[in-house]
């Protein structure tokens, strides 16, 4: 595969505060790359550098082989972008916004935009100020995809969208990558990228701490298990289960953390006893970071 995005030693300082610290990363053509991290980890700073909206303090950003800072115009012509907090001209209608962006791109054909608006049940005749948060987000998605971009950069794109619209959005991502486009999807919610991502990069406190395939990340994702027993149970029975964390057994209630790869072994041990109730929940993303990846010393972005 051909690299569409390449970050080499990328560093960004805001005064004395380091937002990104020597990030190395490549994103290949035709993949959905999930860029994950807690709020304030440096995701949005990375995106702004990738789009040439900020100048790096150190290192280099290349998109389509161009330097992102010096050749941002060439990059923007082939890129769609959904910002984390879209800003619109509130008095304009959705249709006027679409025509405005089409004129900026010198692509007057807005038929794809109309089709996308219909697909997401977005009324383009209403002024932006009358749209709900979810419909404003739909408008951002339409303008990002309407030019058939080769690269789509998404910063928390499903914020404010209901579950059915999110499913439609995930299908759209699969369609654009099927034609060879590349997607960079930034989020702090692991579930948001599970539907579509091929690989995931994890950033914490400005440092890229891991790049993994999604199936490998799922195997490491910590699950919280709580089991209530109707009879006696031995703590020693769980010693053979690998990777069990923070196991506690009090008054007939077992609580522990376990990665997905060890769930089957744990459940088989639980089945030896009289279980009255059991719940298994996936830990949130930040807890997973704290469990599996060492924290850096840099300040958060």
Two structure tokens written together for 65: 């082989």
Between CA 263 and CA 116 the distance in angstroms is 41
Contact between 4 and 151 (Cβ < 8 Å): yes
User: What are the residue ranges of CATH 3.40.50.300 in the chain?
Assistant: 3-218
User: What are the residue ranges of CATH 3.30.70.260 in the chain?
Assistant: 222-282
State the CATH class of domain 222-282: alpha beta
> Bigger pLDDT: 269 or 160?
269
pLDDT of residue 286: 53
Under 8 Å CB-to-CB from 203, ≥6 apart: which residues? 23, 35, 36, 37, 41, 42, 43, 46, 209
Contact between 67 and 50 (Cβ < 8 Å): no
Secondary structure letter of residue 300 according to DSSP: P
pLDDT of residue 292: 52
The domain made up of 3-218 has a fold known as Rossmann fold (3.40.50)
> Bigger pLDDT: 48 or 282?
48
pTM (2 d.p.): 0.77
pLDDT band for position 1 (cuts 50, 70, 90): low
């Amino acid at each position: 595969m051909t690299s569409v995005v390449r970050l080499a030693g990328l560093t960004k300082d805001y005064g004395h505060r380091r937002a990104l610290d020597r990030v190395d990363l490549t994103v290949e053509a035709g993949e959905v790359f999930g860029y994950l991290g807690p709020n304030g980890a440096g995701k949005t700073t990375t995106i702004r550098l990738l789009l040439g909206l900020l100048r790096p303090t150190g290192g280099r950003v290349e998109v389509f082989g161009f330097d992102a800072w010096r050749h941002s115009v060439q990059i923007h012509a082939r890129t769609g972008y959904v910002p984390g907090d879209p800003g619109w001209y509130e008095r304009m209608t959705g249709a006027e916004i679409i025509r405005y962006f089409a004129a900026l791109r010198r692509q007057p054909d807005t038929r794809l935009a109309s089709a996308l608006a219909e697909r997401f049940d977005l009324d383009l005749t209403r002024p932006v100020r009358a749209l709900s948060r979810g419909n404003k987000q739909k408008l951002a998605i339409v303008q990002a995809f309407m030019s058939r971009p080769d690269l789509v950069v998404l910063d928390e794109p499903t914020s404010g969208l209901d579950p059915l619209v999110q499913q439609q959005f995930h299908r759209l991502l699969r369609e654009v990558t099927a034609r060879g486009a590349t997607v960079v999807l930034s989020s702090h919610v692991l579930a948001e990228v599970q539907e579509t991502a091929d690989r995931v990069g994890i950033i914490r406190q400005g440092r890229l701490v891991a790049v993994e395939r999604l199936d490998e990340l799922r195997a490491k994702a910590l699950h919280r298990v709580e089991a209530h027993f109707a009879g006696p149970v031995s703590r020693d029975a769980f010693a053979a289960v690998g990777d069990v964390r923070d196991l506690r057994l009090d008054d007939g209630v077992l609580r522990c953390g376990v990665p997905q790869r060890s769930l089957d072994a744990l459940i088989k041990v639980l089945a030896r006893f009289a279980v009255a109730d059991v719940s298994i929940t996936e830990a949130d993303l930040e807890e997973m970071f704290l469990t599996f990846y060492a924290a850096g010393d840099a300040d958060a972005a």
